[in-house]
Structure 1
């Protein structure tokens, strides 16, 4: 009996010890964040005697309290927090805070991109991606990512950094410890689900009809409904100058006060948003089954923010003031059909109409811009050819951009933002076909890719 009492006593002690460790592990995270009804409370768990909080580049609190509360800007904010001990800066932490009060997107776009004909899996993926976020807490030695639950057929989230896979997890969080202070990284969480049974059967019948040579794995990849959440992270430095700096991703794509030579318009809030579709190969097989021995000339290039080779381009220029404006310029390149893969024997040349590219302005204010672009441009050699479909939606404040979209899984897509006279552009989104076989998508496959990127 004594042995039983002793064993019970040790079990109780073990449970208490385990519970205490779990509680401590939670409390030792760098930041506790609570968001509700457009209001945030931040609590710093890293010990110091003085704390400095910066919100969107501006100081909002300095003192001994490790906790602050604040309203969240229209769509979100970026915080930098300095932790001091005896007047020495011990640690800098950065994090993003998203507003939980959802801004409505423009559903006029649904009629332009055949949303009504989409299957339930596509609508589910699009809705989940559009309404989700990657939450970031970064210090000099690691980045902690967390996100909302997303649909995925095997429940395994794939984590990418700068287009390279760095891990997998079944959790809703991931910590990257292989980072360097002062560097910039682009993170994304990738998921996929199967199409509806009806859609899958339809595509499998089409594969059989055209005598497809795709492997089962290639067919599965083409048919899958995909989604990705992305964000750009600037790794902090434990330096006073970094803490007080207003540098951000969006700040780099403006010119900060320079004047235009035309009209003397201030460029400190101007930016250009360029979305292009392109074929990365020199040519691809004509997607019309009857024309198996003919080819469509491609653009023959990789991703490039400055290339003038593309199928289509929409370029939206924005300004908060001087005047407040959202304008779109659109271009369509000539399409070429060839007798041979090298395109030495040209059969036909035509340029599709640009009328399928449309801009919808949801909000145009001096502190908030919101617009939607839709795109449905066909191959101009007959009505039986498919259209290249995509749409995207941007909600923009001076400190943050929330950008979401969806598109066909061929051809390649690239999206950049830059200042009018900037020497480089910031990548918002890129999508690449895996092989020439993916251009089966251009003919009949209906599965789409949904994506979202947030810039702070």
Structure 2
């Protein structure tokens, strides 16, 4: 069904009066006139932002343009420029271009609005570990990477056959960003823009912009002295991993079809499956009684059956969890499950569980020397905002291996913003050992939506738990 080709129908004028400023001479102060011109290098939609306004410039000539936000029609008319208040952490649009009463182009546009971490958040996350209490243990270059990743924005414009990425500058040792799609490198660039022309309609992809720097020479010397003291042999690959500071800026995007139904369809976290009792049983979520309820599950685990005790190297072994990535596993070092609900009543409910640790005399763990469980007190969950439209919380994880003070703690933190649209922004950092996995579950599905996965490459990687070792920084949006 075609919308009226006038600047705005009365229906939408009435709706926009509530949301936008109106200048009588124009259709709206947020609708700028003029036909767009297409260029080979330009995406279907260009995004420009100021502090309070986002502008979508449609670069494809058309007779009529339609713009939807979260499944609701916000504009139908002839202007190829559209402005909106920039008032949310992430704003999702669908743009349709019509020619001769036919839909010719569809674009999905994701606009992120990351801001620098607030002072209160910085203070609460400053003390990462009991072992790492002084600022001298934290490399200055790691602090710079952390700040840049937390505040950087990644804009995504997708059509049925291409995805264009634009991002803020992030520190990188050689000035070359690596581009990953679903964990596979697809290119690299010195620019702040990249286009992927190898996509399929109705598919979902995760894009990562990866920047890498190295710790200072002073920090390198500290690591190497500790390695020498403990008589550990490191390969060149091990050293590279030990010295690298890596930041991931990522966005998850659904590729549209050229159909009006694609324009009108709001995004969902998990497609396909409907509510069922089996879904609720298999998820093992903390508390999810209604639809529009989500659970965020973060687990740390050791993928090996056992590994030689790295702290200290005394011939004993630590028993591992012996598994690959598995969102429903009951084998883990730690599990933090934060469940949320937007309806009657709203809530953020965290549940923390710690796996039992075993120290063994042999690699097969036939002779267990001692068994202990670390305290839950090292996990803190801060509920910053609980409302019907937006949830904000932080998790700070500082849990030790429970066999003495010589063992380092496993550290991570994340800050999550969840919108009922639905969308999310999750930013944080974690140690580069052991394995980390982070999933979102929806009440209406048995499937898991992966947010973050990180794995060690060898048993030597557990040296990356040394005090002061650089963490892995991430900022993910959907």
TM-score clears 0.5: yes
Q: Distance in 2 between matches of 1:68 and 1:220?
A: 47
Q: 1:377 to 1:141 in 2, by over 3 A?
A: same
Q: What is the DSSP-based 3-state SS (H/G/I as helix, E as strand, rest coil) of the residue aligned with 2:377?
A: coil
1:172 counterpart = 2:192:
yes
8 A Cα contact 1:255 1:267, kept in partner: no
Tell me the alpha carbon deviations over residues 353-407 of structure 1, each in whole angstroms, 9 at most, x when there is no partner: 1110110112222212111100011111111111001100011222221110111
- Equivalent positions of 1:433-448 (< 5 A) are 433-444=456-467, 446-448=469-471
> Does 363-372 or 272-281 show the bigger shift?
363-372
- Equivalent positions of 1:314-325 (< 5 A) are 314-325=336-347
Tell me the alpha carbon deviations over residues 320-371 of structure 1, each in whole angstroms, 9 at most, x when there is no partner: 2311211110000000111121212211111111110110112222212111
Q: What is the DSSP-based 3-state SS (H/G/I as helix, E as strand, rest coil) of the residue aligned with 1:355?
A: helix
8 A Cα contact 2:433 2:465, kept in partner: yes
The runs of at least 4 consecutive aligned structure 1 residues that moved more than 3 Å come to 23-29, 100-105, 112-117, 250-256
Query: Which residue of 306, 310, 315 maps to 1:287?
Result: 310
8 A Cα contact 1:31 1:42, kept in partner: yes
Q: What is the DSSP-based 3-state SS (H/G/I as helix, E as strand, rest coil) of the residue aligned with 2:318?
A: strand
- Equivalent positions of 1:17-32 (< 5 A) are 25=39, 28-32=42-46
Question: Hey, what does 2:59 align to over in structure 1?
Answer: 45
Q: 1:235 to 1:131 in 2, by over 3 A?
A: same
Question: Hey, what does 1:392 align to over in structure 2?
Answer: 414
Q: 1:67 to 1:78 in 2, by over 3 A?
A: same
Q: 1:57 to 1:103 in 2, by over 3 A?
A: farther
Question: Hey, what does 1:111 align to over in structure 2?
Answer: 127
1:405 counterpart = 2:428:
yes
Q: 1:250 to 1:77 in 2, by over 3 A?
A: farther
Q: 1:196 to 1:428 in 2, by over 3 A?
A: same
1:424 counterpart = 2:438:
no
Q: Distance in 2 between matches of 1:435 and 1:265?
A: 37
Q: What is the DSSP-based 3-state SS (H/G/I as helix, E as strand, rest coil) of the residue aligned with 1:200?
A: helix
Q: 1:29 to 1:421 in 2, by over 3 A?
A: closer
Q: Distance in 1 between matches of 2:223 and 2:349?
A: 39
Q: Distance in 2 between matches of 1:325 and 1:243?
A: 32
Question: Hey, what does 1:186 align to over in structure 2?
Answer: 206
Question: Hey, what does 1:156 align to over in structure 2?
Answer: 176
Question: Hey, what does 2:15 align to over in structure 1?
Answer: none
Q: What is the DSSP-based 3-state SS (H/G/I as helix, E as strand, rest coil) of the residue aligned with 2:239?
A: helix
Q: 1:250 to 1:106 in 2, by over 3 A?
A: farther
Q: What is the DSSP-based 3-state SS (H/G/I as helix, E as strand, rest coil) of the residue aligned with 1:322?
A: coil
Tell me the alpha carbon deviations over residues 201-231 of structure 1, each in whole angstroms, 9 at most, x when there is no partner: 1001112112222123321212211111111
Q: What is the DSSP-based 3-state SS (H/G/I as helix, E as strand, rest coil) of the residue aligned with 2:339?
A: strand
Tell me the alpha carbon deviations over residues 415-454 of structure 1, each in whole angstroms, 9 at most, x when there is no partner: 1111235210111111111111101123456111111100
Query: Which residue of 102, 108, 125 maps to 2:145?
Result: 125
| Structure 2 unaligned residues grouped into runs of 5+ | 1-36, 282-286
Q: What is the DSSP-based 3-state SS (H/G/I as helix, E as strand, rest coil) of the residue aligned with 1:106?
A: helix
1:224 counterpart = 2:238:
no
Aligned length: 427
Question: Hey, what does 1:63 align to over in structure 2?
Answer: 77
1:357 counterpart = 2:371:
no
Q: Distance in 2 between matches of 1:389 and 1:265?
A: 27
Q: What is the DSSP-based 3-state SS (H/G/I as helix, E as strand, rest coil) of the residue aligned with 1:287?
A: coil
Q: What is the DSSP-based 3-state SS (H/G/I as helix, E as strand, rest coil) of the residue aligned with 1:65?
A: coil
Q: CA deviation at 1:302?
A: 1.0
Q: 1:252 to 1:385 in 2, by over 3 A?
A: farther
8 A Cα contact 2:205 2:252, kept in partner: yes
Q: Distance in 1 between matches of 2:427 and 2:244?
A: 19
- Give the root-mean-square deviation of aligned CA atoms: 2.4
Question: Hey, what does 2:164 align to over in structure 1?
Answer: 144
Q: What is the DSSP-based 3-state SS (H/G/I as helix, E as strand, rest coil) of the residue aligned with 2:226?
A: helix
- Equivalent positions of 1:291-370 (< 5 A) are 291=314, 293-370=315-392
Question: Hey, what does 1:236 align to over in structure 2?
Answer: 256
1:275 counterpart = 2:290:
no
Q: Distance in 2 between matches of 1:33 and 1:445?
A: 39
Q: 1:338 to 1:451 in 2, by over 3 A?
A: same
Q: CA deviation at 1:73?
A: 3.5
Tell me the alpha carbon deviations over residues 108-163 of structure 1, each in whole angstroms, 9 at most, x when there is no partner: 12235447442211110100000012210100111111111111111111111111
Q: CA deviation at 1:289?
A: 3.0
